[in-house]
Every structure is written in C-alpha cells, then in structure tokens.
Amino acid sequence: MHTGLRAPALPTPDPKLDQLLRTAIEQTRLLRLRYRNRDRIVEPHDYGEHNGVIKLLTWQIDGSSGSPLPNWRWMETDLISDAQLLDQTFPGGRPSPSSKHHKWDKLFLRVKLATKNPK
C-alpha cells in the first residue's frame, strides 16, 4: 500500500553546469557567467550544498555588481546561466576577510590554496 509519503528531493545541480564548475575549480580558471540578470567574471572557490540549496562561493573580479568589486559573492546555481570557462587562471584560494567560515551542508569541491611564487 502506498502511503503517499516521499523522502524530500535532494538538490541536484544541472549536469552540464556541475561539470563546468568542477573543471573551473580544479583548473583554477575564471568563469564568465550571468547571475540575477547581471554579467559577471568570477573566481570559483567553493561549490556545494548550503541550507539545502546548491551554491557557488565566488570572488567576483569584474562585471556588473551592486557593491564594490572585487568582492565575495554567494551564487545559487539555479540562478546561473550562460556560464563559460575562460582561459585565464587565478592563483587559488584566498584568505577569508574574517575568521568566520560558512558551514556547508555538503562541500562538493574547494579550490586549492594559492601557492606563493618562490623569489
């Protein structure tokens, strides 16, 4: 007998966007994308599930923004469109401006820490 009860649906990212985000993070490559009807260029840093929503934590370096750039920006992946992998790379992880780090429900991938160039 069917009770009508179902387990809550787990959030699932779009497969093409998922692969693009993973490639960008693994290769420390910049992304050009559209988010909330604004074109942006970002460094993808963290990718995972936060409060039941698939999100990307980025360091936005260029494009349209309502706040000064560069700056940290949370992006819900459902609101990302026209994402393109750029050839330009970035150094890797950045220090957080505070000691407060966001708690991910599930972290899929984090960019590797930047390595300093030997002098």
pLDDT digits (tens, 9 = 90+) for 34-68: 999 999 999 999 999 999 999 999 999 999 998 89
Whether residue 40 is contained in a domain is answered as: yes
Q: pLDDT digit string (tens) for 63-102?
A: 999 889 999 999 999 999 999 999 999 999 987 665 445 7
Q: How many domains does the chain have?
A: 1
Question: How many residues make up the chain in this entry?
Answer: 119
Q: Whole-angstrom distance between the N-terminal and C-terminal Cα of the chain?
A: 71
Whether residue 42 is contained in a domain is answered as: yes
Question: What 3-state class would DSSP assign to 63?
Answer: strand
Residue type, 57: L
Burial class (CB in 10 A: 0-12, 13-18, 19+), 113: exposed
Q: Is the pTM of this model over 0.75?
A: yes
Whether residue 116 is contained in a domain is answered as: no
Handedness of CA 46, 51, 55, 57 (dihedral sign): negative
- Domain with 76 in it: 15-92
Q: Where are the alpha helices (DSSP H) in the chain?
A: 15-26
Whether residue 45 is contained in a domain is answered as: yes
